[in-house]
Chains A and B, each alone.
Chain A
Amino acid sequence: MDSPKVPVTLITGYLGAGKTTLLNRILTERHGKKYAVIVNEFGEEGIDNELVVDADEEIFEMNNGCICCTVRGDLIRIISTLMKRADEFDGMIIETTGLADPAPVVQTFFVDEDVQSKVALDAVVTVVDAKHFLSAVDEEHELAEQVAFADIILLNKTDLVDADTLSHVKSKIHALNKFAKVIETVKSGAPLEDVMERHAFDLTRILEIEPGLLDEEDDHEHDEDIISISLTTDQPIEPEKFSQWIRGFIMERGVDVLRTKGILNLEGQENRYVFQGVHMVMDSAWGAPWAPGNRSSKLVFIGRNLDEGELNEAFQACTVAA
């Protein structure tokens, strides 16, 4: 039997958002677990851990600068080396620089067989500074990407803003990423069980896409560069039609599509079909059987320059009723 994979938590966030504070909270709470920590830079705040490795943010463009084929060479090297002493820790935490693009980091976990066989990306946790987010997000490309890639967002420093500002920040985050669970914090004080061991990339654990997410009024503005779009249908999906459409769409627009997630009711199948993607890297699995009655297919995209009406039309055209 294969050994269980070492979980890796990725902490991103803009400069001064509270990433290292979160990291130190994780490391110092009494959970009985040891973590190997990979950081890009040693900031003013020290890191309270025995095993800290310095990464040098080496972007490795495997294919002429195409973002879909870009990984982090330093992480492949460091993870390979760390795994030779895997008995010394229970998990890894990567803290990126404030300016890091999360896409190459995330893709690193899906391109190399050795990395894939030994470690598993658990979740992308993005720390957002409530006070400075609104003034920075439209100017700083990386900040929007960090929010867009997140599974969990710590909306931090909420004590430094008034209720109105906080509401605006939440709306903006929601527009960029409706997937993510948002936790409001002061001094990055989130319960650890909300941040660690979330299995956000584990297809076998995806039963739902954020309950309630798809029922909300779609009230965000559509002039965002990055937006998130959720689509749903109660009609069974015709597998061949859907396969042809989604594969063609990702092939053509994979550079713009940051993350994709879907739970599908395929015609004639008793089990859910679950898939997810980061740019062009896709993966799928059969999930649990559908409960009687409710067999709603859901599809979510986060990306740039996406047209919700067009996507919905194409999605609805994949149903057996179309």
Chain B
Amino acid sequence: MDDILGLSRPKATGDAQRIKALAREYLRVPESATVMVSELHCHEDGCPDVETVIAVMGGGDERRTWKIDKPMADISPEDVWGCIK
């Protein structure tokens, strides 16, 4: 049955895994580090309606984060490369 009120969380589509793999490859993230990818829908003043946060945690470095003002589904390899290079 459909969520007719629109309150469900988006189902996992594989986009987070795809973006994590790209980030790992481009940044040469060690196995021991954790990569997190999350799509935010923040309604605070000054925040974009949708943005995707990529964070690399551990692996010997401080946490590093990048933001792309797009939903995860629309993010291309060029977007990931463009923000982290």
Contact = CB atoms under 8 A, between A and B. Distances in A.
Please indicate which of the listed interface residues B17, B43, B57 has the most CB atoms of chain A within 10 Å of its own CB: B43
Interface string A57-68: 010101110101
Contacts of B51: 63
A133 interface: no
Contacts of A136: none
B46 A64 contact: yes
A49 interface: no
A80 interface: yes
Nearest to B4: A239
B3 A284 contact: yes
Given A60-B63, A80-B34, A69 B7 contact: no
Contacts of B37: 112-113
Given A77-B34, A113-B12, A266-B4, A60 B55 contact: yes
A286 interface: yes
B1 A271 contact: yes
B5 A243 contact: yes
Given A66-B47, A284-B3, A73 B55 contact: yes
Contact of B40 (A62, A246, A283): A62
Contacts of B30: none
A128 to B, nearest CB: 31
Given A69-B40, A286-B1, A77 B57 contact: yes
Contacts of A277: 7
A96 B67 CA distance: 29
A62 B7 contact: no
A284 B40 CA distance: 18
Given A63-B47, A116-B12, A275-B7, A81 B40 contact: no
Contact of A112 (B1, B36, B41, B58): B36
B7 A247 contact: yes
A290 interface: no
Interface of A: 58, 60, 62-64, 66, 68-69, 73, 76-77, 80-81, 110-114, 116-117, 239, 242-243, 246-247, 251-252, 254-255, 266, 271, 273, 275, 277, 280-286
15 contacts: A63-B42, A63-B47, A64-B44, A69-B40, A77-B58, A112-B36, A113-B12, A113-B16, A114-B17, A117-B12, A247-B5, A271-B1, A281-B9, A285-B8, A286-B1
Interface of B: 1, 3-9, 12, 16-17, 20, 34, 36-38, 40-44, 46-47, 51, 53, 55, 57-58, 63, 65
